[in-house]
Amino acid sequence: MAAFPLDPRLSKVILASKDLHCTEEILTIVALLSVESVIHIPYSKREQSNEVRQKFMSSTGDHVTLLNMYRAYNGAGGNRQWCFENFIDARNMLTACKVRKQLRDICQRLQIPLLSCGQNMTAIRHSLCYGFFMNAAELHKDDEYTTLGVRKTVHIHPSSSLFKCKPAYIVYNELVQTSKCYMRQLSLVDPDWLYEAAPLYFKRKKTTTN
């Protein structure tokens, strides 16, 4: 993991993607998470920007939503006018592209196969569990989420593509404290993936809570 100049959690996600055959997509997502937000939302055009963003939204979460944005950006040839019309920060997206190239070069040096999962979004979400298993939360009967680690009550951030959904289990990138404690950058996951990613961690947590 030391070969990647990244948060160790992101490095683990890249390494996991090797066996799940989705390294190309994971490199894109990791690069986008490593730079300032590529989403530009002017306060005066908030409603319009939210409408435009709908075409990128994924029902599986924000990580795939970011991937959809990158693919659309590439499809438009990185055109600045396209970025303006779609509320994409062109400078930050260009920085993410440079980061992605650096990560791809490292993978090639480490002989990590650069495989693509195409439209198999399941493999992407599965890979995320290996880096973010400690950032997992489950839904309870009262429609509130609790983190699996410290049992903290958390909420889906209003900007998330999952805001109006209630998936049973999710992983998130970070917590943001405002009037509530919000989870940002979420993906829905299968609890079996979490246990597979860190069996000792979840066995220990289960023992502690019993």
The mean pLDDT of 12-40, rounded to a whole number, is 97
Residue with tokens 């439209």: 119
The whole-number pLDDT of residue 3 equals 82
Answer yes or no: are the C-beta atoms of 81 and 31 closer than 8 Å: no
C-alpha to C-alpha distance for 26 and 115, rounded to whole angstroms:
10
Q: Please enumerate in sequence order all residues whose Cβ is within 8 A of that of 155, keeping only pairs 6 or more positions apart, or say none.
A: 144, 145, 180, 181, 182, 183
C-alpha to C-alpha distance for 139 and 22, rounded to whole angstroms:
28
- Main-chain phi, psi angles of 160, to 5 degrees: -75, 145
Which tens digit of pLDDT belongs to each residue from 167-200? 999 999 999 999 999 999 999 999 999 999 999 8
Which tens digit of pLDDT belongs to each residue from 117-163? 999 999 999 999 999 999 999 999 878 999 998 899 999 999 999 99
The whole-number pLDDT of residue 207 equals 47
C-alpha to C-alpha distance for 115 and 2, rounded to whole angstroms:
22
The whole-number pLDDT of residue 204 equals 60
C-alpha to C-alpha distance for 173 and 45, rounded to whole angstroms:
26
Structure tokens at 208: 């502690």
User: 0.95 exceeded by the pTM?
Assistant: no
Taking each helix axis from N to C end, the angle separating 23-33 and 8-20, rounded to the nearest 10 degrees, works out to 160
